[in-house]
Amino acid sequence: GGEGAPIEVELKFRVGPDTATALWALGAVGLPHTPPFRDCYFDVPGAALGRADIWLRHRQGQGWQLKLPHGDPRLPHGDPEPAHGDPQPHRNAETTRTPPKPAEPRSHPPPTSPPSRPPSAVTIYREVWGDAGVLQELTRLLGVPSAPWGSVRAALAPLGLRPTASFVTRRRSVRVGRVKVELDEADFGYGLGEAEEEVTAEGGAREVEEARKRVEGVCRALGAEPRQRIPGKLSVFLARHQPRYYKLLREAGRLEEVEKEEKEE
Ligand code: V4E
What's the ipTM?
0.93
Q: Is 233 in the pocket of ligand 1 (CB under 6 A)?
A: yes
Q: Is 234 in the pocket of ligand 1 (CB under 6 A)?
A: yes
Pocket test for ligand 1, best of 11, 13, 38, 67 (most atoms within 8 A of CB): 67
Q: In the prediction, which pLDDT does 77 show?
A: 62
Q: In the prediction, which pLDDT does 204 show?
A: 84
Residues of the chain with pLDDT under 70: 1-3, 72, 77-119, 260-265
Q: Is 232 in the pocket of ligand 1 (CB under 6 A)?
A: yes
**Nearest C-alpha to atom 5 of ligand 1 is from which residue?**
234
Per the DSSP assignment, residues forming a β-bridge with 63 are: 59
Q: Is 229 in the pocket of ligand 1 (CB under 6 A)?
A: yes
Query: Distance from the CA of 107 to the center of ligand 1, in angstroms?
Result: 31
- CA torsion sign for 185, 189, 195, 199 is negative
Q: Is 254 in the pocket of ligand 1 (CB under 6 A)?
A: yes
Query: Distance from the CA of 232 to the center of ligand 1, in angstroms?
Result: 6
Q: In the prediction, which pLDDT does 265 show?
A: 52
**Nearest C-alpha to atom 20 of ligand 1 is from which residue?**
255
Q: Is 170 in the pocket of ligand 1 (CB under 6 A)?
A: no
- How crowded is the C-beta side of 173, counted as CA atoms within 13 Å? 14
Q: Is 43 in the pocket of ligand 1 (CB under 6 A)?
A: no
DSSP class of 156: T
Contacts of 72 by beta carbon, 8 Å cutoff, 6+ apart: 93, 96, 97, 98, 99, 100
Distance CA 109, CA 107 (A): 7
Q: In the prediction, which pLDDT does 254 show?
A: 92
Q: In the prediction, which pLDDT does 119 show?
A: 61
Name which of 255, 258, 259, 257 is nearest 89 in CA terms. Answer: 255
Ligand 1 atom with least separation from CA of 11: 28
Q: In the prediction, which pLDDT does 231 show?
A: 95
Domains of the chain plus CATH, in order, are 7-81+91-105+116-259 (2.40.320.10)
Query: Distance from the CA of 7 to the center of ligand 1, in angstroms?
Result: 13
DSSP class of 124: E
